[in-house]
Structures are given as C-alpha cells and as structure tokens.
Amino acid sequence: MATTNGAVENGQPDRKSTALPRPVRNLEVKFTKIFINNEWNESKSGKKFATYNPSTLEKICEVEEGDKLDVDKAVEAAQAAFQRGSPWRRLDALSRGRLLHQLADLVERDRAVLATLETMDTGKPFLHAFFIDLEGCIKTLRYFAGWADKIQGRTIPTDDNVVCFTRHEPIGVCGAITPWNFPLLMLVWKLAPALCCGNTVVVKPAEQTPLTALYLGSLIKEVGFPQGVVNIVPGFGPTVGAAISSHPQINKIAFTGSTEVGKLVKEAASHSNLKRVTLELGGKNPCIVCADADLDLAVECAHQGVFFNQGQCCTAASRVFVEEQVYDEFVRRSVEFAKKRSIGDPFDVRTEQGPQIDQKQFNKILDLIESGKKEGAKLEYGGSAMEDRGLFIKPTVFSEVTDTMRIAKEEIFGPVQPILKFKNIEEVIKRANSLEYGLTAAVFTKNLDKALKLASALESGTVWINCYNAIYAQAPFGGFKMSGNGRELGEYALAEYTEVKTVTIKLDDKDP
C-alpha cells in the first residue's frame, strides 16, 4: 500500500489476502475517559475536549481532558505498579511475553473496530488503517512479546578477583507522547518494548486522535495487565505533555512528533530529573534517483513515499533528487501518478488520499505551496485545496526546485512533492546531507557500487535502496542529527527501555 515494492509500513503484507475488510458501521465510541489503574476516570478539572472527523469536520465525541493533576495520578498508579514485589514486578519474563501475545490477539480480534476508529479520527483511508497501521501494531506486539524472556545481561571478565555481571533492568515509569499521523502504531512502537522490558507507562495520545489509544486501554484491561501498568491521559501538549516531560517520577520519555516540540521535551526532561529521552522527530528525507534506476519503480516509490498518509509521514520523500538525464521523464511520470491519485471519503475502498488532519496543518501546507510558487519552483500539478471539500489538498508536484527554497528545506507534512535535479554522486551526497534532519533516505539505482557508496555516505538513520517505507518490527528505526535520539523497533529498542546494572562481587583473596 505504502509502496509498490511489496513492503509496507512496519512489515510486509500477508501472503494471503482475504476478502476486503469492512469498516464497522455506526460505531459507538465507548472509551473517552482517562485510563488509570485499569479504570476509567473523569478529569480532575471536569473539562472535556472534542475530537473531530477531519473528512467531515463533524465532532465525533467529547473526551475527558487531562491536566497536570491527572498526570500526577497516572504517575502515582504507574509507580505503585512498579514497586518492588508488585504483581507486575513479580511476573516472570515469560509471562510478560504471554500477556503481550494475548494483547496482540485482542488487537487482531478487534482490528476492524480499531481501524474504523483510526479512520474516523485521522481521516486516513480505512484500508490503510486496516492493512498498514493495524498490521504494524499486531506484528510489533508479537515481535516484542518474543523478546520478553530474551533480554540478557552479560558476565564480564575483569582484572581482579571479582565476579562481574550485568543485569538489564526496567527503567521504571516511562512517559510516551504520541503523534496524530499513526496514532495507534506509534503508541505500540513505544508501549510494546516498554512493557516487554518490564516498565510501567503513562501515555499521552495526540489531542487530535485519542480514540484508538483509549480503546487499546480497554484491551489492556481485558488481557489482564496488572492495574497501573499502562495509564492513558488524553489532553494537550502544553498541559499533559509538559507535565509528563517534566515529571520528577517519570524516568524515561519517548516522544514522536515535531523537532520543535522534541526540543521542548528534551529540555523539560533535563530540567526536571534528567529522565532518559528518545525522540523521533521530523525529516526532510532525500530520495535519490540515479539515471540507471528502474524508473517505473523509482517513480512509483517516490510517489507513494511522499503522498502516503496524505503526506503526513516523518519518512515522507519530500526532497526527490533526480539525475539530470532522466529528470524530465521522471517529472512527467510523477505528474501522471499524482493525477491518478484518488481523493475522497476515506471509508471508500478506492480512496488513496483523505483530508489533512486539521486546519492548522492545512494552512501550513498551503502556505508552503504558495512559497514554492513565489520562489520560482515550477508547479507541475495541484497546488491548491480541493475546491469543494474541507481539509483536502490536491496532490502537488513541483519541478525545478532548488536547495534554497523553503519547500526544499522545511518539512511540509502534506501531499507536496518537490523534485530537484542533480549531476553527479558527490554533489548529491553533499546536498542530501546539507540539512539538520537525518531520518531516512532512499536511493534508486541498479548499480551495486553506487548503492553501497550512498548507503555509507548518507547521514540518516535509515537508507532504503530500491524501496521505500520498508519498515519492519525487527529493524531499528530512528534519526541522525535533529531527526531524533535513540531507536525504536528491533533489538535496539530494548536498550531504550532498560537500565544496565553492573554487579561486581569481590571474592576472598585468601585461598577459599
């Protein structure tokens, strides 16, 4: 779905497809309260906030609005659950894995419900939610379920007459602040390794999209995680987000979102208690198309790479560098693809593109599109909102984009494809690496030398060669430079959720 080479966000589509899944009609939203200690709570302030369906701009429901006091309560619960001797701490690693497996089973059971909620709340096409977001969630949960009893310390040879070994212990209460573009998936990326390692968690879902996280809360309760292990506080960044980032009893925070907010989170983390931080932030990801590439593949991957999820991906291919020999042809074909992209009701199976998440993002994207026009890029297609509908933006393709334009430097987070031209490899390496971002990069070439050279030269956390958005639960994901700190997924993620304790035992020097 995301790309045409078979890989999709966070895994591969299943071998066997079944009949197309259907959304759940007239779905009643059951879970709108703050989830603490496996119970549903009203906010201390009594406030609520509305969540909207971005494709109809209608209010879906009201959700309890958390604030600092609610975060305190959640942290208290999480701390109690993490106390030595608590049911959660006494649980064998193997049983922790079983719980995660069972959670995966329930997510699988309620997959259509969750995908429907996700589509209502984000406006993403239902089939994408079902096949990509939910598939990724299930696979990630199962993958980390398998790790629970395999987190091994080491025994270490040392100089003196000592026995030295390490224990990998959970950190404690972990905060998670998740974005609105893949609400449930980004939560699971954090929740699964955190729980697998034995931590307890306080989650703030994005205020635009709190519904799937809350539903997951009900499943966590149903599976039988001890109370307080997972707590979910919906609310806003400056209140709930800030409270989590600066909470003195939270020992670690994982955040996915903008670089701007990421800086705030890290600052709050260091001001409060030097909590451990992982950040997965913005990107301005180069996608380099060499003249020798399979052009059909490159055009399609670049297209899906930038337009997937309405362009609202941190991995979006938003700087396409194309070698000059094939530049014109690449632009021509990219425009064809953009023209074919079907926009509309996300519940319609034919829809590939839904609305942007909200008015603020919508305005920002249109502003960047205007800047592109003004700064001299050539608008090949699109370039405006859909006339008749709320937050829908036409797939937009710019050619003749140069490095100094805003659309070549700033993260757009919308359906806008800026295409740049390059002459040789050394030049494109330099240009690709010139920004402060470093999340992902993609290379299209059939040449092994070029592929390996670029793979080593590009400054980004991920390099895809002849594919795009090929993300797997088993492979680490994260950014270089200002695209973030730390890694999610893969064995590497375990390091973000454990503290290493070195135990050294001095033996008697005299004979035994």
Partner 1 sequence: MKIAVIGQSLFGQEVYCHLREEGHEVVGVFTVPDKDGKADPLGLKADEDGVPVFKFPRWRARGQALPNVVAAYQALGAELNVLPFCSQLIPTEIISAPRHGSIIYHPSLLPRHRGASAIHNWIRGNDKVPGAWTEACGQKLTFFGSTLSTEGLVPEGETLPIPGAHRPGVVTEAGLILFGNDDRMLLVKNIQLEDGKMIPASQFFRGADSTGLELTEEDLVMAEAVRGAWKRILPNVLEVEDSTDFFKSGAASVDVVRLVEEVKELCDGLELENEDIYMATTFGDFIQLLVRKMRGDNTESKCVIDHVEKTVNKLTLRMPHQLFIGGAFVDAEGAKTYETINPTDGSVICQVSLAQVSDVDQAVAAAKDAFEHGLWGKISARDRGRLLYRLADLMEKHQEELATIEALDAGAVYTLALKTHVGMSVQTFRYFAGWCDKIQGATIPINQARPHRNLTMTRKEPIGVCGIVIPWNYPLMMLSWKTAACLAAGNTVVIKPAQVTPLTALKLAELTLKAGIPKGVINILPGSGSVVGQRLSDHPDVRKIAFTGSTEVGKHIMKSCAVSNVKKVSLELGGKSPLIIFADCDLRKAVQMGMSSVFFNKGENCIAAGRLFVEDSIHDQFVQRVVEEVGKMKIGSPLNRDTTHGPQNHEAHLRKLVEYCQRGVKEGATLVCGGNQVPRPGFFFEPTVFTDVEDHMFIAQQESFGPVMIISRFANGDVDAVLSRANATEFGLASGVFTRDISKALYVSDKLEAGTVFVNTYNKTDVAAPFGGFKQSGFGKDLGEAALNEYLRVKTVTFEY
Residues near partner 1, by CB under 8 A: 11-12, 14-19, 21, 93-94, 97-98, 101, 105, 108-109, 139, 142-143, 145-150, 152, 163, 448-449, 452-453, 456, 473-474, 491, 505, 507-508, 511-512
Give the residue carrying structure tokens 């001890």. 226
Nearer to partner 1 among residue 100 and residue 432 (C-beta): 100
Query: Going by C-beta distance under 8 Å and a sequence separation of 6 or more, which residues neighbour residue 253?
Result: 174, 175, 176, 177, 244, 245, 265, 269, 275, 276, 277, 278
Half-sphere exposure of 446 (CA within 13 A, CB side): 7
Nearer to partner 1 among residue 50 and residue 162 (C-beta): 162
Q: Is the dihedral of CA 319, 400, 321, 296 positive or negative?
A: positive
CB of 94 to partner 1, least distance (A): 7
397 neighbors 417 (Cβ within 8 angstroms):
yes
Query: Going by C-beta distance under 8 Å and a sequence separation of 6 or more, which residues neighbour residue 476?
Result: 461, 487, 488, 489, 490, 491, 492, 493
Nearer to partner 1 among residue 135 and residue 207 (C-beta): 135
Please state, as a whole number, how many other Cβ atoms lie within 10 Å of the Cβ of residue 363. 13
Query: What is the spatial distance between Cα 193 and Cα 280, in angstroms, rounded to a whole number?
Result: 15
Nearer to partner 1 among residue 50 and residue 500 (C-beta): 500
C-alpha distances (whole Å) from 77 to each of 203, 220, 231, 273 are 12, 15, 8, 19
Query: What is the spatial distance between Cα 284 and Cα 80, in angstroms, rounded to a whole number?
Result: 41
CB of 449 to partner 1, least distance (A): 4
DSSP type of residue 192? H
Exposure class string for 454-465: b at 16+ Cβ within 10 A, else e: beebbbbbbbbb
Nearer to partner 1 among residue 17 and residue 26 (C-beta): 17
Q: Can you tell me whether residue 46 is helix, strand or coil?
A: coil
CB of 210 to partner 1, least distance (A): 26
Task: Classify 342 in phi/psi space as left (phi over 0), alpha (psi -120 to 50) or beta.
Answer: beta
CB of 354 to partner 1, least distance (A): 24
Is 280 catalytic? The answer is yes
187 neighbors 205 (Cβ within 8 angstroms):
yes
Nearer to partner 1 among residue 103 and residue 261 (C-beta): 103
Query: What is the spatial distance between Cα 283 and Cα 458, in angstroms, rounded to a whole number?
Result: 14
Annotated active-site residue in 65, 135, 280, 352: 280
Nearer to partner 1 among residue 359 and residue 474 (C-beta): 474
CB of 257 to partner 1, least distance (A): 29
CB of 349 to partner 1, least distance (A): 14
The catalytic site residues sit at 280
